[in-house]
Amino acid sequence: MKLIRYISIFIVMLTASYSFAQSWTGQAYELYKAKDFESAKTAIDSAINSVERFDSQTWQLRGIIYRNISNGDQIYYREIALESFVHAKKIDSTGLYTAKINEYIRHTLVRYYNDAVTLLIEEGEFEKSEDSYNIYLREYRKLVDPGFNFTEKNINYYNAVGSEYLKKVEIVEPSKKNALREKAIEYSLKVLEFDSLDFKANFNIGIVYYNMGVDYVLTIDPTETTLEQLILNQKKSEEAFLKALPYLHRAEQLQPNNKAVQEALMGCYYGLNNNELYLKYQKLVDQHNIGTYLERHNTHPNDIENVRQLVRVYTQTLIDLEQAEKFKKILYTLENP
Amino acid sequence: MPDTRSVVRALYIYTFATLVEWPQEKRSGDFVIGVFGETAGVYSELNKKYSGKSIGSQEIVIKNYTTTKDISDSHILYVSPENSKHLKALMQTTIKENTLLVSEESGGLTKGAIVNFIVEGNQQKYEINKSNAKKHKLVIADKLSDLAARVVK
């Protein structure tokens, strides 16, 4: 998901109503140009307590100055910036600046969106990110366009949240994984409410359930488990694989030649002990991989695991008895040096 | 792709070890689990997770056999599907060693296996032949029978 960065150029148009250079607004503008934002803020606050408060440009400049200092802990300055732009528009009786002010508002609001992305991807602050994203939606509707269609943005954002939860799953201890997976599913389902044919959301949900199915089996403590627990975990694993299937098949319909989808379907059917469908997807995956296996064998002829894969491929999926025999002999030699 | 099937089979084989009683003379020394088949899959899983662990006071040793003549005294012998054609012969050779013969073959129990892995629905299950167990002088715990998909008396 991309950050949207706007660089706004503020050009203060001099009006003839007062001597600009001697005005608070003029001073604030000079200070702003000199990047002395704190002093510019003081000057522009003096301006709105003077006769200059009746000039839309004063409020526009105030918005721009406050927007520039609204970083980090001073994010509330962004609200002041927005209030200033709104006021600037209100007192712009001729409508001369309306388009420009709307741009300022849009560029200010997009910072909430950018914050949402940064908080999500760089800082892992999921709740703060969503708060910022919701402010962006709410204020955009209120201040810019009540009827704006956010579907595409929502899809991108919620998919990004789902993906970040999936990334986090990889780095937490096993007992915390499923809670994060549930969150990933929750956000991917939000995407599907907007577009049931979104590839990423379907794929992510399928992967989450597939991984859950695998973990129900892989995380069983080998020496502590009872027969009852083994049977129960197999049941849970089966349920998870079955839940994955409709999402993965939808992803497959959307991207029929996607290897990652085929691998996930292969894994599900393998876990479900469905040999016919497992081999169907294994074959598709092997068609993607065979070149890599052969190339690997050329560069690393002693890679025993790679040779095992070649034997498997030529005996089970891309059947070639001659090749199978060749690699079986190589495997035998490697296993019995 | 994680080999979930082999993980489940290895787990079952370990639990079989805890729920079968061997004759007194087999309750000392190493507890040998043999795999007649390729080194990947079940053997690899057993070797990785159970080698060096124990059943009672016996240390688990995992062995891999690639030919019938390599097969030696084992408490449990898992015969992979590609070696199922040897089941009948193995029944004869393992009977005096009180080996729990485990297969994964349709009709495995009639070919001499005591436990046979089957797929029912989407799950890996097992069936038991108590008569074959008796011939090998093995006592199957009630729990193992109760949770089996099928029991041949």
Chain B: residue whose CA lies nearest to A226: B15
Question: Given an 8 Å threshold on Cβ–Cβ distance, is A222 in contact with B14?
Answer: yes
Q: What is the pLDDT of residue A7?
A: 45
Phi and psi for B59 in degrees, rounded to 5?
Answer: -80, 135
- The ipTM estimated for the assembled molecules is 0.91
What pLDDT is attached to residue A15? 44
DSSP assignment of B33-77, as one string?
EEEES-STTHHHHHHHHTTT-EETTEEEEEEEESSGGG----SEE
Q: In 3-state terms, what secondary structure has residue A239? A: helix
Can you spell out the DSSP letters for A62-125? Answer: HHHHHHHT--GGGTHHHHHHHHHHHHHHHT-TT-TTHHHHHHHHHHHHHHHHHHHHHHHHTT--
**Chain B: nearest CA to A222, how far in angstroms?**
6
Residues of B in contact with A223 (CB under 8 A): 14, 50, 53
- Among B144, B118, B121, residue whose Cα is nearest residue B133: B144
The token pair at B138 is 């093995």
Q: Closest-CA residue in chain B for A304?
A: B40
pLDDT of residue A225: 84
The whole-angstrom separation of Cα B98 and Cα B76 is 9
| Eight-class DSSP state of B27 | S
pLDDT given for residue A86 in this prediction: 95
Domain of residue B56 covers 4-152
Give B33's contacts in chain A (Cβ within 8 Å): none
| A-interface mutation test, from B3, B6, B8, B144, most A Cβ less than 10 A away | B8
Domain count for chain B, please give it.
Answer: 1
Give the torsion sign (CA, A252, A257, A262, A263): negative
Interchain pair B19, A227: CB under 8 A: yes
| Exposed / middle / buried, residue A258 (Cβ in 10 Å: 0-12, 13-18, 19+) | middle
Per-10-residue mean pLDDT, chain B, length 153: 93 95 93 88 92 93 89 91 90 90 93 94 95 94 95 91
The structure's pTM equals 0.85
C-alpha–C-alpha distance, residues A256 and B51, integer Å: 43
The CA–CA distances, whole Å, from B92 to A32, A33, A84, A305, B97 equal: 95, 96, 93, 35, 10
pLDDT string in tens for chain A (337-residue length): 655 655 444 444 444 444 565 799 999 999 999 999 899 999 999 999 999 999 999 999 999 999 988 776 667 899 999 999 999 999 998 999 999 999 999 999 999 999 999 999 999 899 999 999 999 999 999 999 999 999 999 999 999 999 999 999 989 988 899 999 999 999 999 999 999 999 999 999 999 999 999 999 998 888 788 999 999 999 999 999 999 999 999 999 999 999 999 999 999 999 999 999 999 999 999 999 999 999 999 999 999 999 999 999 999 999 999 999 999 999 989 988 7
CATH number, domain of B92, equals 3.40.50
Which residues from chain A sit within 8 angstroms of residue B47, using beta carbons?
A: none
Residue with token string 């148009």: A13
Give the number of beta-carbon pairs within 8 Å between A and B.
65
Res A16: pLDDT: 41
Burial B66-91 (b: 16+ CB within 10 A, else e): beeeebebbbbbbbbeebbebbeebb
Nearest to A258 by CA among A199, A324, A173, A217: A199
Distances (CA, A) of A137 to A23, A80, A154, A332: 37, 18, 9, 64
Task: Indicate which of B11, B39, B143 best probes the interface with A, i.e. most A CBs within 10 Å of its own CB.
Answer: B11
Q: Does B48 touch chain A (CB under 8 A)?
A: no
CA distance B73 to chain A (A): 23
**Mutation for testing the A interface, residue in B122, B145, B147 having most A CBs under 10 Å:** B122
Which residues of A are less than 8 Å from B122 in CB distance? Answer: 238, 241-242, 272-274
What CA–CA distances, in Å, run from A43 to A57, A64, A83?
14, 13, 18
CB distance B101 to B79 below 8 Å: yes
Contact across the interface for A273 and B11, Cβ inside 8 Å? no
The answer to whether B11 contacts chain A (CB < 8 Å) is yes
* A192–B contact, CB cutoff 8 A: no
Is residue A212 within 8 Å of A169, Cβ to Cβ?
no
d(CA B37, CA A69): 70
Q: Work out the angle at residue A229's Cα, subtended by the Cα atoms of residues A223 and A230, and round it to the nearest 5 degrees.
A: 75
Shortest distance between the Cα of B36 and any Cα of chain A, in A, equals 16
Nearest Cβ partner of B15 from A217, A230, A270?
Answer: A230
Contact A222 B53 (CB under 8 A): yes
Extract the tokens encoding B45: 């899983």
Check residue B44 and give its pLDDT: 92
C-alpha dihedral, A170 to A176 to A181 to A184, nearest 10°: -90
Q: How many residues does chain B have?
A: 153
